[in-house]
Amino acid sequence: MVGGGGLKRTLKIAAKYADISHFDVCPSGDVLDQKLNALKSHCKTVGRDYGDIQKGIAFYLVLGDTKEDIEKRIREGAHWRYSTVDRFRSRVGPVKGDIDQYVTAMRGYMDKGVSLFTVYFVSYEYQRVMEDITVFAEEIMPHIK
């Protein structure tokens, strides 16, 4: 696995050697398209089948019952990651809180060829992390397999 998304060197190395190319934390759709296109171009240059490389991304999962709860979890995550709230918010998954929106967003990534998701669960509270893992496993994953 090659981790990172540098368009010139990192993705060229991934094209040549990797079984998995794992991009940045939660790239936007446009950024992801740029990385995928660069990887595809490098594969062509080195004579590698682009389809032989698994693509992956990571994101922070923030679930909440209300917008206030979601914002509280984002602030907590920023503190937990020694980050600003705005920077952390940009690294949170494609949507915040709604299970159906997560499923739709993850399917959108999958439609682009992403098949590996590294999910970070945000909370200082062990019980809350375990609840989020359960929700992800039981309510999100069955819809994206």
Q: At 121, which helix (H) or strand (E)?
A: strand 114-121
Q: What is the pTM of this model?
A: 0.82
Domain count, the chain: 1
Q: What is the pLDDT of residue 92?
A: 77
Categorize the per-residue pLDDT at 129 as very low, low, confident or very high, splitting at 50, 70 and 90: confident
Degrees, nearest 5: CA angle 41-107-69: 120
| Percent of the chain residues past pLDDT 90, beyond the cut | 42
Starting at the edge strand that comes first in sequence, how are the strands of the sheet with 2-3 ordered?
2-3, 20-25, 54-61, 114-121
For residue 41, the enclosing domain spans 2-143
Residue (of 65, 57, 77) closest to 119 by Cα position: 57
CATH number of the domain residue 52 falls in: 3.20.20.30
Backbone conformation region of residue 133, classed left if phi is above 0, alpha if psi is from -120 to 50, else beta: alpha
Q: What is the pLDDT of residues 70-91, one digit of tens each?
A: 888 888 888 877 889 888 887 7
C-alpha 105, offset from chain centre: 10
